[in-house]
Amino acid sequence: MTDPMVGKGSADAQPTAPDDIGMRGGVQSAVEAAVSPVSAIVWRHGALELLDQRVLPHASTRLRYSECGEVADAIREMVVRGAPAIGVAAAYAVVLAARRRFADDPATWRDHIDADLDRLAASRPTAVNLAWALDRMQETMDAVAAGADPEPALLEAARAMHAEDIAANRRMGELGAALIESRCEVLTHCNAGALATAGYGTALGVVRAAHAAGRIAHVYAGETRPWLQGARLTAYEMVEAGIPVTLIADSAASWAMRQGRVRWVIVGADRVAANGDVANKIGTYSLAVSARHHGVRFMVVAPTSTIDRHAASGDDIPIESRRSDELLSHAGRRVAPDGAGAWNPVFDVTPAALVDALVTEHGVVEAPDRDRIAALLARAKS
């Protein structure tokens, strides 16, 4: 069962306590150092704690999970969301699954854990970080000796992914900030911040680094209907960080560009195809079209775990559709008349040709295309 640990307000906005099991040292220290009021994922006392992003910013509630299936449900229901955060949460869920299966039967746990992995993989389809994390955990499982308890090795692997994502975000922050030549205003969409990652953020990592360097004066955040990740989460993170933020309706973005208010659009990604096409929150494509029309630069910030070399182009990326009532109702109240339907794709694909820069932890790809992405991936491997 999930266990709502902490009530409303900032009661849990404290650095997390050191864990009671597992490794000590470099990886753990890096993870602990990143824990903050906007830390989406914490492994504590042998269980996974997720900051419930459905209720932010009004309540800061951490839910505690000790069963893999419950984490899969939490991902589907968007307790935790954002591509890298989903991947790291799934990695910890595999630890929970292995613990349960091994306790049930140390001889046959491997035969049963596939069902847990399948359930996790099906929880949200677009963010490739989920499949990437499960593949890495599978490799770790394959290396566990027959009869050995898989939990220590899996926990170490999950923690490594957690720490690597934070480090990647910090590196992307530096690289992306360096692209912004002079003090300006930028626009972001959805939430690609600490809440959407293991910590610091991708697009908002660039915003954090560039603001600290004096290159960003101010951020416009699109509200991001229907889940309002921009209004609820990005604005929360920016206020928390002391970075000036102004919320706009999604439909105000082109007008803001037309008025010369925006120099860069900076977004994250859920999946980048091998040719550089970018799947991200619905509305990103419109921003890219409008940015090109208005001479505004368009930056995508994503770790290499978000690049799917098996997707030749955006056409190969599965786009999640969510329930129509997310659009037909607002704040629990029906806004559309009975009889109206709704189409609710929650991601779209921006063609690579509209992307000026793809920022990864292994470098910046200007005007990404198939060859440049392949070169980046080769560099990342070496």
* Selection from 378, 312, 318, 371 nearest residue 347 by Cα: 318
- Is 230 one of the binding residues for ligand MRU (CB under 6 A)? no
Report the sign of the C-alpha dihedral through residues 105, 109, 115, 119, in that order. Answer: positive
- For the question of residue 116 being annotated catalytic, the response is no
- Is 250 one of the binding residues for ligand MRU (CB under 6 A)? no
- Is 208 one of the binding residues for ligand MRU (CB under 6 A)? no
Shortest reach from residue 134's CB to ligand MRU, in Å:
17
Residue closest to ligand MRU when measured from CB atoms: 268
- Is 84 one of the binding residues for ligand MRU (CB under 6 A)? yes
Q: Among 83, 157, 160, 253, indicate the residue that binds ligand MRU (CB under 6 A).
A: 83
Q: Which helix (H) or strand (E) element contains residue 157?
A: helix 151-179
Are the CB atoms for 116 and 68 separated by under 8 Å? yes
* Nearest residue (CB) to ligand MRU, 197 versus 290: 197
Question: Rounded to whole angstroms, how far apart are CA atoms 47 and 99?
Answer: 11
Please identify which of the residues 270, 277, 308, 348 carries the catalytic annotation.
270
Region near ligand MRU per CB under 6 A, out of 2-10, 107-115, 192-200, 308-316: 192-200
Region near ligand MRU per CB under 6 A, out of 24-32, 191-199, 359-367, 372-380: 191-199
- Is 188 one of the binding residues for ligand MRU (CB under 6 A)? no
- Is 28 one of the binding residues for ligand MRU (CB under 6 A)? no
- Is 136 one of the binding residues for ligand MRU (CB under 6 A)? no
User: 299: Cβ–Cβ under 8 A, 6 or more apart, which residues?
Assistant: 176, 179, 203, 206, 264, 265, 266, 267, 355, 356, 357, 358, 359
Size of the site for ligand MRU (CB under 6 A): 17
Rg (CA), the chain: 20
Question: Rounded to whole angstroms, how far apart are CA atoms 114 and 119?
Answer: 9
- CA 353 to the chain's CA centroid: 23
- Is 346 one of the binding residues for ligand MRU (CB under 6 A)? yes
Are the CB atoms for 195 and 184 separated by under 8 Å? no
Question: Which residues participate in catalysis according to the annotation?
Answer: 270
Task: Return residues touching ligand MRU (CB under 6 A).
Answer: 81-84, 127, 190, 192, 196-197, 202, 229, 268-270, 280-281, 346
